[in-house]
Amino acid sequence: MVERRHFKRIMYQAPATLHQADGSWQTDVRDLSLQGILITRPQEWHPSKDDTYTITFCLHECDIELSMETQLVDNCEDYLRMNIHHIDIDSASHLKRLVELNVGTDELLHRELEHLTDLPNT
């Protein structure tokens, strides 16, 4: 299978909250990248016509909260795959640092940041 991802996903597990206009659900982050996030599918969650959500979670052992507006890409039995389509500057800085600490090399991080800036706006 050919790898199509431009962004390296890092394993990161943390409790999170999935928000939408009609409610919020407790979930868990499973992995993330500069472009997207994978969360566990809450049992009481059901898809709606509006596929935009906000996900919030705190970094381990601190009170820094990341918040991102996402769009549902894939909905399977156990997981929800989301693209990040908007993230505030503070959350983006923390996400960048988290990825930086986990990708291993500055070269790989800079390549991923270049891919991020080359993406078309949606």
Interval 24-31 mean pLDDT: 96
pLDDT in tens, 62-82: 889 999 999 999 999 899 999
> Cβ atoms within 10 A of the Cβ of 107, count?
9
Query: Quick one: angle between helices 106-118 and 89-103, nearest 10?
Result: 140
Residues 17 and 28: their CA atoms lie apart, in Å, by 8
Tallying the residues shown for the chain, one arrives at: 122
Of 70, 67, 99, 97, the closest CA to residue 84 belongs to 70
Two tokens at 58? 């705190």
DSSP structure class, residue 44: T
Q: What is the pLDDT of residues 104-122, one digit of tens each?
A: 655 655 565 565 545 455 4
**What is the H or E stretch that residue 36 is in?**
strand 36-40
Q: Is the dihedral of CA 75, 112, 96, 11 positive or negative?
A: positive
